[in-house]
Structure 1
Amino acid sequence: MADETTIVLYLFKRLHQLGIRSVHGVPGDYNLVALDNLPEAGLDWVGNCNELNAGYAADGYARIKGISALITTFGVGELSALAGVAGAYSERVPVVHIVGVPSTLSQKSGALLHHTLGNGDFSVFANMSRNISEVLVTLNDPTIAARDIDRALKACYISARPVYIALPTDMVLKKIPSRGLDTPIDLSLPINDVETETDVLESVTKIIYEANNAIILVDACAIRHRVVEEVRQLIDKSQLPAFATPMSKGAIDETNPRFGGVYIGDISRPDVKQAVESADLVISIGALKSDFNSGGFTYRTHTKTTIEFHSDHIKVGYATYPGIGMKSVLQKLLATLDFNKIRHSESAKSDPPALVNEEYGKFSGEEVTHSFFWPFIGKNWLQEKDVIITETGTANFGILETRFPKGVTSISQVLWGSIGYSVGACQGAALAVKESDPSRRVILIVGDGSFQLTAQEVSTMIRHGLKPIIVLINNDGYTIERMIHGEDASYNDIQSWKHTKILETFGAKEGEYENYVVKTRKEVEELFSKGNTFSKADKIQLVELFMPKLDAPRALKITGKMAEKLNAKTE
Structure 2
Amino acid sequence: MSETSLDIRTQRLHKPVDVAEYLFTRLHQIGIRSVHGLPGDFNLVALDYVPKAGLKWVGSVNELNAAYAADGYARVKGISALVTTFGVGELSAINGVAGAFSEHVPIVHIVGCPSTISQRNGMLLHHTLGTGDFNVYADMNAPISCEVARLNKPSEIADQIDHTLRECWIRSRPVYIMLPTDMVQKKLEGQRLDTPIDLSEPKNEEEREDYVVDVVLKYLHAAKNPIILVDACAVRHRVLEEVHDLVEKTQLPVFVTPMGKSAINETHATYGGVYAGNGSQPEVAARVEAADLVLSIGSLKSDFNTAGFSYRTSQLNTIDFHSTHCVVRYSEYPGVHMKGVLRKIVDRVDVSKLPRTSSPPVVNKVSENLDDSQTITQAWFWPRFGEFLKENDIVVTETGTANFGIWETKFPAGVTGLNQTLWGSIGWSVGATQGAALAAVDMGTDRRTVLLVGDGSFQLACQEVSTIVRHNLHVTIFLIYNEGFTIERWIHGMDAEYNDITRWKYTEIPSAFGASPENVKTYVVKTKDCLEKLLTNEEFNKAKGLQFVELWMPKEDAPRALKITAEISAKTNAKTE
Three-state SS of the structure 2 residue aligned to 1:250 is: coil
| In structure 2, distance between residues paired with 1:497 and 1:2 | 60
| In structure 2, distance between residues paired with 1:406 and 1:510 | 33
| In structure 1, distance between residues paired with 2:60 and 2:364 | 42
1:499 aligns with: 506
| In structure 2, distance between residues paired with 1:522 and 1:73 | 49
Letter paired with 1:117: L
2:493 aligns with: 486
Give the drift of 1:357.
5.8
> Which one of 108, 113, 127 corresponds to residue 125 of structure 2?
113
2:386 aligns with: 378
Matched, 1:94 2:94: no
Matched, 1:570 2:569: no
2:419 aligns with: 412
1:438 aligns with: 445
Matched, 1:351 2:357: no
Q: How does 1:137-152 map to 2 (within 5 A)?
A: 137-152=149-164
Aligned residues: 565
Preserved CA contact (<8 Å) 1:154 1:186: yes
Matched, 1:188 2:200: yes
Give the drift of 1:360.
5.2
Give the drift of 1:552.
0.4
Letter paired with 2:419: S
2:567 aligns with: 561
1:477 aligns with: 484
1:208 aligns with: 220
| In structure 2, distance between residues paired with 1:317 and 1:432 | 39
Letter paired with 1:355: K
Cα gap change, 1:402/1:359 in structure 2, threshold over 3 Å: closer, same or farther? closer
| In structure 2, distance between residues paired with 1:540 and 1:267 | 34
TM-score, normalized by length of structure 2? 0.97
Cα gap change, 1:356/1:508 in structure 2, threshold over 3 Å: closer, same or farther? closer
- Name the % identity: 58
1:368 aligns with: 376
1:230 aligns with: 242
Letter paired with 1:551: D
Preserved CA contact (<8 Å) 1:212 1:344: no
| In structure 2, distance between residues paired with 1:406 and 1:110 | 57
| In structure 2, distance between residues paired with 1:488 and 1:95 | 39
Q: How does 1:35-434 map to 2 (within 5 A)?
A: 35-346=47-358, 349-352=359-362, 355-356=365-366, 365-379=373-387, 381-434=388-441
1:367-405, Cα deviation, whole Å (9 max, x unpaired): 0011010001112x1000000001111000011100000
Preserved CA contact (<8 Å) 2:14 2:189: no
1:29 aligns with: 41
| In structure 1, distance between residues paired with 2:347 and 2:401 | 42
Give the drift of 1:340.
2.0
Three-state SS of the structure 2 residue aligned to 1:444 is: strand
Give the drift of 1:295.
1.4
1:229-268, Cα deviation, whole Å (9 max, x unpaired): 1111111110100000000100000001100000001111
| In structure 2, distance between residues paired with 1:343 and 1:541 | 48
| In structure 2, distance between residues paired with 1:226 and 1:408 | 16
Give the drift of 1:569.
0.8
TM-score, normalized by length of structure 1? 0.98
| In structure 2, distance between residues paired with 1:516 and 1:549 | 20
Letter paired with 1:371: A
Three-state SS of the structure 2 residue aligned to 1:368 is: coil
Preserved CA contact (<8 Å) 1:261 1:353: no
| In structure 1, distance between residues paired with 2:367 and 2:332 | 44
Three-state SS of the structure 1 residue aligned to 2:201 is: coil
Preserved CA contact (<8 Å) 1:266 1:273: yes
1:492-522, Cα deviation, whole Å (9 max, x unpaired): 0000000110111011112111001110001
Three-state SS of the structure 2 residue aligned to 1:131 is: helix
Cα gap change, 1:341/1:359 in structure 2, threshold over 3 Å: closer, same or farther? closer
Give the drift of 1:542.
0.1
Give the drift of 1:344.
2.4
- Structure 1: segments with no counterpart, 5+ residues: none
Give the drift of 1:54.
0.3
Preserved CA contact (<8 Å) 2:364 2:410: no
1:89-121, Cα deviation, whole Å (9 max, x unpaired): 000000000000000000000000000011111
Letter paired with 1:352: V
- Root mean square deviation of aligned Cα: 1.1
Letter paired with 1:563: S
Give the drift of 1:438.
3.3
Preserved CA contact (<8 Å) 1:311 1:327: yes
| In structure 2, distance between residues paired with 1:358 and 1:111 | 68
- Structure 2: segments with no counterpart, 5+ residues: 1-12
